[in-house]
Structure 1
């Protein structure tokens, strides 16, 4: 006899119960007759001549949960939807092509977008109207969801020809925009040097001199911009632009967007001080911030940056890692305040009352050791601005979820806290470390936010890049672990996210209670981001590991990407494959947002792989991309990743050639160079024992060992310096150019 009672069974179950996406499964028991995106729903819409209601979101989206609770779980609303529309749910992370197409429409008609995205389509997939979140009833000056449903029902019944014509004209306009956007002759084409100067000026003007990041609120990490600023500084150290990125890294690390208790970063902060976050933690942010803080450390050797990067690593390995090596998509902003609670609220997992901290510390005083007259509660609450009445401003908490609560933030320094509490920095550091451990252990007893167990190829590529760049830091205490985890990730992706028979990447696979990753019965193949981000990750992994097989796989994937996505007529890459089923328009991304766009990252990849494999076709495609996007302005602000690639193209790449047998001495020579931030660095290892194995056209015949010792040749734009056999000498030569004193940028 089955356990449980009939009352335990859900009242409603729809087709989404057969999906693997956590977001779709969240809606599997709605009374709405949901379909996943596909031919079955579209065929029914055509057969019954009904509008399609397309609802797009993702499982960690706060307002998606709100709209579900208010509208999609409401049986009266569901009855209207089921009678008059064919209702389709899409996970935007699983089908970014569908999301991007109809988000383009929403931006055209509304000027802004977001999720949940709500769009009504004709049976042949032309959008007629839409928006984002709709309240269940008319309020806040917004039409209620039911109101819109009933109006569209009447409009479709009485004037469907007009609606259909409008929808088709919009699709045609989007198609023309893709085809003609970069064909128009710009009034003026800026040179690379002009774009460089323009980038310096705009970042100095647009970044907050006090709190870092872009001026105003909300504040997002915008890592593509941060990484470009490192590159701009390297090109012109006298520009003083480095202070912009270091101030941003410092303020983000100090802010509540950073999880001080354990590690990792939230999506963004609602205020200008990085204090109160939107609490969801997304994998793509963790991967990019690993790179940014690794770049910060390699540029300055400031210990804070390495500590922050290491805490991100600890977080993703503990809370986002699949047992076989891949990484899950992210964690929700909402969670239950207690195990007895019925409703989730935003930030419940992360917020603390003053009394919770005080009582926890009192119960564990013995763990702090001998502190003399110092009160650990006083030190901890002083350092993290924890107040008895809470430290969240009402303007940052419109729903009152954080009333009386504290989000940890640092306004001063450990030394300043020590002075205020009349103790030493060493004592403060020890209290903070032990206190965070206590809060972490206590927090893990709370109901956790929902975990999206979707394993996305592109985002894992970003994590691979972050881990690999962190593994290039020779003094990092966990360096071997970074490299080990990166290596397992490469193996995981090859096994679970590459269809060798079809010679295509998969967009995603899925985790569950088992140790194996699951794939869809009808796979969703990868998009441009999946190829570009993974290829970049493999290039970075080669730099960290010198595993040539990673480069060869990167080359294979680049060739596949070129076959599937390259626009032979105009240049640049489409987002989706040609002839993709039920995709009305093939878009081309032309801006870097929360993630860099596939075209920007591909520009980098083509240059680097073109060097490693002496491939003129790769180099030619990179140049065609620069030409295709040449009229984008301001270029370095809209396409920061591509601006960085353009600098590499115009000013050349650095190359390190180390010749000699494998061993510690040769490894030390490589370490001495990759320790520094050198974008586009090409590394070639030549072993006299296997002289036929070479990259970038370099052979042992051209590069000789000095005194039979492993020897390093450092070259720029095909011009090499004198060979060096001692790692310390190599480091000494690089210090003046690549290491900068961060203290001059601190207040």
Structure 2
């Protein structure tokens, strides 16, 4: 029998559905259905989650007043959670208790598991509340806290991940910790209750021992972040290597560690690691080594074929749990989508293979449909877990994406009319063959240890579309048409399922990564969606200016929040100001968007933000940028990242930004900082594997930037000339448009010497202060770029 609260929530739930159907007219013409169906699915999932949680609000803690979706997920735990801040820290000092710090994010599967097993458990919560001051942190809001304590865990345990579970002294020094802990002793791991009791007892009985371990590690972290890398290991000869030697060293490492058959690094799990792929593309352009190109393209091909890629509607999951890219952890993060747009854009420019552009377009459609706020910003990501049905009480990882064989068969039978043209081709057989769909499911038990998707299928392309066409003795066009119809049918059905939770935080850094990807594809002259990419990029920048930039304080914000697509974004009562990544990634996005749009205002905004980044983050004593501002006094160490991971390091991206801005504005101060950063990190070994983004930028500085200058009136002929550059992959290319009727708009004053020839739009290709003769013909300019691609380096021999 339903409780009074449950009955009341059920009535409210049904009333909300009725209201939503009335106002959004769900169930009308199919041509209008997808967006509406998607909105309804999100609305029902959100309302159902509210109903499930509101049915029993036995507990409320201080997280209830926060904006972060992750913190709000824990607002009704029996644990007496505090947000990170002075109140909790002072209470720990007053009561002389250790702090238990739990760091995660709202779309994290294992964060949900630990919450359900431990943080919702009354017995566990009692121990936590009696023995500790408990703090929750959203790593996407406060990445500097996460980076510091993750470094600690990596040093003491050798591995990390989320949820991150750390025990701190009242002065915020870490003493011990880990990641996910099971509730009870199992799998050879101590249970969380056991750990809580032991750590609390040790704090009471042998505090000095506990402090000693943590203090030695934190001192090592402080030392590493307060001196130059080249000084920290002065005995190492790595910093004496030339840039060219480091470059070839990196290439040889990639050849050893990459899986030639399946792509990515050997073994599992597998992450896209886009910074490494972009380095490989750069390396190919410099060396013309086909083996290097093959490594990058094989990886992108296998990612696109795998279950990590959502074949039904686009987008990519964060990583694959197996070596074949088949079964992912299903969360979709914005930072992956933006970086993979960059990678597939680079692949298309190098190969001119349309499949890479099509993958990018499908990702773009997913982003604009499922992750975009109407005002123009993009949400942080979607959860891995969702309710299997609207009646379910527990979420399951992958429930939204997995399919039973008979479910697909029934859908094809119910939609036979859509396959009238292809009836003789056996559409169901083609679809199930191509995506490896099996009666008993296609997921291996090792990839699904908890049995969440047992007996189900994750769409996965084992072969190629040509192989499928050969198998069924038909054309590739026919196969493509059948697959597209099948995906549309599955997508319509999928929208009727409860959707995964959407994290409605809008993160500046990740929107910056997306802006880079949008800009790179918008540059491609034969991109049929070019104007759509430009419009979306323009609105994204406008969104950041309005909601993520404090004009009064001249600071970027880290995040803003929107409860849903209908709500106005807000900054929250406690503004969280930007970190190094927020500046660096967005600045790079602005620079590339200038190249795509040729609107000089974006370049000026990039320069303005770069000067602010220099002001807030530059280490005046040892060079390079700190991750956080000096004003953030609640962090015991100001970190400097020394690796490009799931996201590139802020210093790596800044080297390229500074190099480009130095050339665009002819300002030496930017170049000096770029060189200083490279010197600071010169002893990171091997640089090309740890910091591939930085080595790529360093190489640009070493060989010199290429520059295309086009002089002419603001007309189609002039644009045709400057568009030529967009058809080629030339790392770090400067594109300067000198409009004769608006000469004041140019940032690089020295280009004023370039003139039109015979009153025709005229192009000049320059490198290391040498320029070609004037070029007025588009075909000749294409030949000049092709010549560049041929002469970079002819030999495929790589140094040993």
Could you say which TM-score interval applies, normalised by the shorter chain?
over 0.9
Alpha-carbon separation, structure 2, partners of 1:323 and 1:99:
30
Alpha-carbon separation, structure 2, partners of 1:246 and 1:358:
34
1:166-216 Cα offsets, whole Å, 9 max, x none, are: 433332222122224612324312101101111221111111110111111
- The 5-angstrom pairing of residues 426-445 of structure 1 reads 426-445=477-496
Preserved contact between residue 12 and residue 30 of structure 1 (Cα < 8 Å): yes
By how many angstroms is 1:505 displaced? Answer: 0.8
Alpha-carbon separation, structure 1, partners of 2:541 and 2:648:
21
**2:636 counterpart of 1:584:** yes
Change (3 A) 1:570 1:265: same
1:635-662 Cα offsets, whole Å, 9 max, x none, are: 1011000010011001111111111110
Counterpart for residue 91 of structure 1: 138
Q: CA RMSD in A?
A: 1.8
Counterpart for residue 348 of structure 1: 399
When structure 1 is superposed on structure 2, of 558-567 and 156-165 the one drifting more is: 156-165
1:343-389 Cα offsets, whole Å, 9 max, x none, are: 11111111111111111111111112322521100111111111111
Alpha-carbon separation, structure 2, partners of 1:507 and 1:635:
29
Give the counterpart of 1:73 among 120, 128, 137: 120
- The 5-angstrom pairing of residues 2-21 of structure 1 reads 4=8, 8=55, 10-21=57-68
Give the counterpart of 2:340 among 252, 275, 289: 289
**2:167 counterpart of 1:120:** yes
Give the counterpart of 2:384 among 312, 319, 333: 333
Change (3 A) 1:728 1:60: same
By how many angstroms is 1:739 displaced? Answer: 8.9
1:578-618 Cα offsets, whole Å, 9 max, x none, are: 14121100111011000000000000000000101111110
SS in 1 for 2:425: coil
Alpha-carbon separation, structure 1, partners of 2:631 and 2:423:
73
Give the counterpart of 2:415 among 344, 357, 364: 364
Counterpart for residue 657 of structure 2: 605
Alpha-carbon separation, structure 2, partners of 1:736 and 1:357:
51
When structure 1 is superposed on structure 2, of 485-494 and 671-680 the one drifting more is: 671-680
Alpha-carbon separation, structure 2, partners of 1:739 and 1:518:
51
Alpha-carbon separation, structure 1, partners of 2:459 and 2:650:
35
Give the counterpart of 2:756 among 683, 705, 710: 705
Which residues of structure 1 form unaligned runs of 5+? none
By how many angstroms is 1:424 displaced? Answer: 1.9
Query: How many pairs align?
Result: 740
Counterpart for residue 137 of structure 1: 184
Counterpart for residue 58 of structure 1: 105
Preserved contact between residue 661 and residue 710 of structure 1 (Cα < 8 Å): yes
- The 5-angstrom pairing of residues 102-251 of structure 1 reads 102-180=149-227, 182=229, 183-184=231-232, 185-188=234-237, 189-238=240-289, 240-251=291-302
1:278-328 Cα offsets, whole Å, 9 max, x none, are: 111000000000000000001111011000011110111111001100000
Preserved contact between residue 299 and residue 739 of structure 1 (Cα < 8 Å): no
Change (3 A) 1:256 1:738: farther
Alpha-carbon separation, structure 2, partners of 1:238 and 1:33:
58
By how many angstroms is 1:736 displaced? Answer: 5.0
Counterpart for residue 73 of structure 2: 26
Alpha-carbon separation, structure 1, partners of 2:289 and 2:325:
29
TM-score of the superposition, structure 1-length normalised?
Answer: 0.97
1:422-460 Cα offsets, whole Å, 9 max, x none, are: 222221111011111111111111111111111011000
**2:383 counterpart of 1:379:** no
Counterpart for residue 258 of structure 1: 309
Alpha-carbon separation, structure 1, partners of 2:255 and 2:715:
45
SS in 1 for 2:765: strand
Alpha-carbon separation, structure 2, partners of 1:144 and 1:598:
37
- The 5-angstrom pairing of residues 466-505 of structure 1 reads 466-505=517-556
By how many angstroms is 1:90 displaced? Answer: 0.2
When structure 1 is superposed on structure 2, of 5-14 and 452-461 the one drifting more is: 5-14
Counterpart for residue 274 of structure 1: 325
By how many angstroms is 1:259 displaced? Answer: 0.8
Give the counterpart of 1:324 among 350, 372, 375: 375
**2:610 counterpart of 1:551:** no
Change (3 A) 1:707 1:670: same
SS in 2 for 1:657: strand
SS in 1 for 2:639: coil
1:459-493 Cα offsets, whole Å, 9 max, x none, are: 00000000000101111111110000000000000
Preserved contact between residue 653 and residue 693 of structure 2 (Cα < 8 Å): yes
Which residues of structure 2 form unaligned runs of 5+? 10-50
Alpha-carbon separation, structure 2, partners of 1:738 and 1:380:
40
More helix by share: 2
Counterpart for residue 312 of structure 1: 363
SS in 1 for 2:100: strand
Alpha-carbon separation, structure 2, partners of 1:337 and 1:417:
32
Alpha-carbon separation, structure 1, partners of 2:478 and 2:294:
30
Counterpart for residue 703 of structure 2: 651
Alpha-carbon separation, structure 2, partners of 1:430 and 1:173:
59
Preserved contact between residue 257 and residue 275 of structure 1 (Cα < 8 Å): yes
Alpha-carbon separation, structure 2, partners of 1:391 and 1:9:
38
By how many angstroms is 1:4 displaced? Answer: 3.4
Give the counterpart of 2:148 among 89, 98, 101: 101
SS in 2 for 1:290: helix
Preserved contact between residue 378 and residue 421 of structure 1 (Cα < 8 Å): no
Counterpart for residue 48 of structure 1: 95
Alpha-carbon separation, structure 2, partners of 1:372 and 1:435:
13
- Tell me which stretches of 4 or more aligned residues in structure 1 moved more than 6 Å: none
Alpha-carbon separation, structure 2, partners of 1:345 and 1:438:
23
Change (3 A) 1:48 1:637: same
Give the counterpart of 2:459 among 403, 408, 411: 408
By how many angstroms is 1:232 displaced? Answer: 0.5
